[in-house]
Amino acid sequence: NAGVTQTPKFRILKIGQSMTLQCTQDMNHNYMYWYRQDPGMGLKLIYYSVGAGITDKGEVPNGYNVSRSTTEDFPLRLELAAPSQTSVYFCASTRAETEAFFGQGTRLTVV
């Protein structure tokens, strides 16, 4: 049972480049989330999904896009990378009213 798997673990992007952060869970959870965490700060919700085909914006969605074509996968897309998107990104999944499981994180640097 792998839980929540994020790839890649580290990435350096140049300003204006695009990339997709992958997130997969094998627990059949309906709810999935993308967060970013800046140094010394709490987690900020970027996007979330309550099931396949359903996504919604969180606190800080600008500059990001998501899709949820299957229950298992919830990729996060950065279209035009900016230095302000330098952060650690976490994907999480849960069923309602139960604990959330987190991936190991992706450390992204935009230069």
Partner 1 sequence: LAKTTQPISMDSYEGQEVNITCSHNNIATNDYITWYQQFPSQGPRFIIQGYKTKVTNEVASLFIPADRKSSTLSLPRVSLSDTAVYYCLVGGDSNYQLIWGAGTKLIIKP
Interface characters, 44-83, with partner 1 (x: CB under 8 A): xx--x-x-------xx------------------------
- According to CB under 8 A, which one of 21, 46, 76, 103 is a site residue for partner 1? 103
Closest CB 22 distance from partner 1, rounded Å: 15
Q: DSSP string spanning the chain? A: ---EEEE-SEEEE-TT--EEEEEEESS--SEEEEEEE-TT--EEEEEEEEETTEEEE-S--TTEEE--SSSSB--EEESS--GGG-EEEEEEEE-TTS--EE---EEEEE-
Residue 2 sits in the site that holds partner 1 (CB under 8 A): no
Please say which residue, 75 or 102, places its beta carbon nearer to partner 1. 102
